[in-house]
Structure 1
Amino acid sequence: MSRIDESREFIPVRIAVLTVSDTRTLAEDRSGDTLVGRIDAAGHTLADRRILPDERDQIAAQLRAWCADPSVDVIISTGGTGLTGRDVSVEAHRDVYEKEIDAFGTVFTMVSMQKIGTSAIQSRATAGVAQGTYLFALPGSPGACKDAWDEILVKQLDYRHMPCNFVEIFPRLEEHKQRTKG
């Protein structure tokens, strides 16, 4: 069963938050605020925060810029994961991923089922890795952001979480780019 190994030192990660919305401003961004508050409370660092409209190319460009930025370890976006025509965050994320973390969406659905029942089927939460950076696309509601953070991300972004976590494999995310001796 999962647990925190207190003998391991906590390693803060640098997290960028992107809210995807055609209508929200920073003053009205409750989902972004939810994530920022939890990032801070967990001891991590807010690397950057932005709001962009539901435009696939703009979202993907911002994700790529953060992936290329050595001061960003993790990107969490909120919004644009639903089923409507303007919901393009998932597609933008997949434009950027080198590898998808398939089980993230499954685990998020399991968590959501406990909170909202079969309405969880309408979410397309996703995650992946690009350029050694983790990317997570969450639904746009504060409740979904709270659930994803409290039930999944706070644990997987904590180096002390056992039996395994995302932080401990940071150094190996780009090992395929290392040259072999020969």
Structure 2
Amino acid sequence: MSASADLTPLGMAVLTISDTRDESTDSSGQYLVTALGAAGHNLIDKQIVKDDIYQIRATVSAWIANPNIEAVLLTGGTGFSGRDSTPEAVAVLFDKVIEGFGEVFRSVSLQEIGSSTIQSRAIAGLANNTVIFCMPGSTGACKTAWQSIICEQLDSRHRPCNFVGVLTTRKGGGL
């Protein structure tokens, strides 16, 4: 990163997918809110929805249509158990899939949790020039994704490339 360059703050939204969490127990969503704020970005919205394909899809659809939101962070619903349905809910909205996110997330996670990482269906994509990152529901997984991948990719100063240029040229020409 170049120390002389200024950060381009992004408008961001955080969605926790859970059948059991509420604001008082949502440590993963709260971690992401704190982390994005500490990185200099702006929280536009935060919600918790049940692990229901249509509730997830409706919320994300509204956010990708909102010109003030350039990045969406989802936590939860990426496993194989119960009603985990985040990838099914969100992938159909993608204009482009960011294959590398899931690949790198599982590679980094392998060092932390071993072969259990194969049970993560972490995915990411672009929809209406909004970047969407879907990560597991544990706070540890959110920290791994944010600290190892997302924070740099949403930092306009990160080189050789980041997503900010794509995100800030959308919906009317920028911020």
Scaled to the shorter chain, the TM-score interval is: over 0.9
Question: Shift of the alpha carbon at 1:85?
Answer: 3.6
Which deviations, in whole Å up to 9, do the C-alpha atoms of 1:9-30 show, x marking residues without a partner?
Answer: 1101111000000011011100
Match of residue 63 from structure 1: 60
SS for the counterpart of 1:26 is: coil
Identity over aligned pairs, percent = 48
Provide Cα deviations, 1:121-142, integer angstroms capped at 9, x if missing partner.
1100000011110011000000
User: Hey, what does 1:109 align to over in structure 2?
Assistant: 106
Counterparts of 1:1-182 in structure 2 under 5 Å?
4-171=1-168
Unaligned runs of at least 5 residues, structure 1: 175-182
Q: Which has the greater radius of gyration?
A: 1
**Contact in 1 for aligned 2:70/2:168 (Cα 8 Å):** no
Task: Indicate the RMSD between aligned Cα atoms, in angstroms.
Answer: 1.2
Unaligned 5+ runs, structure 2: none
**Which secondary structure state, in structure 2, belongs to the residue aligned with residue 135 of structure 1?**
strand
User: Secondary structure at 2:24's aligned position in 1?
Assistant: helix
- 8 Å CA contact 2:101–2:124 kept in 1: the answer is yes
State the Cα distance separating 1:169 from its structure 2 match: 2.5
The separation in 2 between residues aligned to 1:155 and 1:127, in whole angstroms, is 15
Tell me, in whole angstroms, the C-alpha distance in 1 between the residues paired with 2:84 and 2:46.
20
Q: Deviations over 1:11-54 (max 9, x none)?
A: 01111000000011011100001101101111111110000001
Once the 2 structures are TM-superposed, how far is the Cα of residue 171 of structure 1 from its aligned partner? Answer: 4.8
Q: Secondary structure at the match of 1:49?
A: strand
How far is 1:173 from its partner?
Answer: 6.5
Task: Give the 3-state SS of the residue equivalent to 1:136 in structure 2.
Answer: strand
Secondary structure at the counterpart of residue 158 of structure 1? coil
Shift of 1:7: 2.5
| Residues 129-179 of structure 1, C-alpha deviations (whole Å, 9 max, x = no match) | 1111001100000000001000101100000001111112225678xxxxx
**Separation of aligned partners in 1, 2:113 and 2:102:** 15
3-state DSSP class of the match of 1:161? coil
One-letter amino acid of the counterpart of residue 141, structure 1: S
Between the aligned partners of 1:127 and 1:173, the Cα distance in structure 2 is 18
Give the letter for the 1:60 counterpart. Answer: R
Q: 1:81 to 1:155 in 2, by over 3 A?
A: same
